Structure 1
Amino acid sequence: MSRRSDQRREAVFALYQHDLTGRPLDDTLPKDAATFTQALARAALARQPEFDDLISRHAEGWTLSRIAPLERSIMRVSLLEMLHPGDVPAERSIPPEGAIDEAIETAKAYCGAEAPGFLNGVLAAILREHRAADGATSGNGSENGGGR
């Protein structure tokens, strides 16, 4: 894994611990957390109501409370980078497809067998909706390949 992937994972786990324990985010971040890790975690937490609404609307047949806390945290970090790249340092931003790939890889490593497919489905549906809304307002079709 790359250093950025490790930092994303640290942000996910800090959010996960915050979600489970209710402790302040600063208490769940590693003491030596990189600036990027801190920015991701803080921005994802600040936008949590927005992200939780999106997850709830696109996780067909699932309530937010039924989704495992770690999976919610993975999606929140991914959604931050997908929908609000300006909230993280520009030199660290990745394309939306890259954010989804990172989420899937994290889920493969730390979640149940069904989680990667579930996260992929929810995040891809949100991205499609976002691009459709963005295309309707700006006319800039954002598809640029993004494949592997």
Structure 2
Amino acid sequence: MANRHLARTIALQTLYEWDFNKQQGNVAELLKRNIAEFAPEFDDQQFSENLVKKVIEYLPHLDTVIREYAPEWPLEQITVVDRNVLRIGIYELQHDKDIPPKVAINESIELAKTFGGPSSGKFINGV
């Protein structure tokens, strides 16, 4: 698995757990544990840390964008995986100028296909 894809996967796992637990708990500790458990030799830890931090920082804006572009899907009804894949993708598209838009979109679709349900990739691509 490429480093940046692995970094996004770890960020998604961390955001998923944090969101699933009603955004409670120390997200930095969750991230540290996920890196130790799933990628102990991981050398791009800073990318995951920054991604998680920035998604949480921009959370109100990201959720507003999701509501705008998926009006028929209340945020609370979108699965936790899909909701956080969208947050990561939208953050990278709108706020991380180092990530080409095509990469942000493709990575989001791949994360959704890997961790979401059967139609998650299509849903993410549609939003």
In the TM superposition, residue 114 of structure 1 has moved relative to its aligned partner by 1.0
Deviations 1:73-129 (A, max 9, x none): 11111111110015xxxxxx321121110011111111111111111111xxxxxxx
Partner in structure 2 of residue 61 of structure 1: 72
Structure 1 unpaired stretches of 5+: 87-92, 123-148
Structure 2 unpaired stretches of 5+: 36-41
Distance 1:27 1:54 in 2: 28
Aligned sequence identity (%): 31
For normalisation by structure 2, the TM-score amounts to 0.85
Runs of 4+ aligned residues of structure 1 deviating over 4 Å after TM superposition are none
Deviations 1:49-93 (A, max 9, x none): 00000001111311000000111111111111110015xxxxxx3
Partner in structure 2 of residue 119 of structure 1: 124
Distance 1:23 1:67 in 2: 22
The structure with the larger Rg is: 1
Distance 2:95 2:5 in 1: 18
In the TM superposition, residue 2 of structure 1 has moved relative to its aligned partner by 0.8
Partner in structure 1 of residue 15 of structure 2: 15
Residue type at the aligned position of 1:65: E
Secondary structure of the structure 2 residue equivalent to 1:29: helix
Partner in structure 2 of residue 72 of structure 1: 83
Aligned length: 116
Partner in structure 2 of residue 27 of structure 1: 29
Residue type at the aligned position of 1:108: K
Residue type at the aligned position of 2:19: D
RMSD of aligned residue pairs (Cα, Å):
1.4
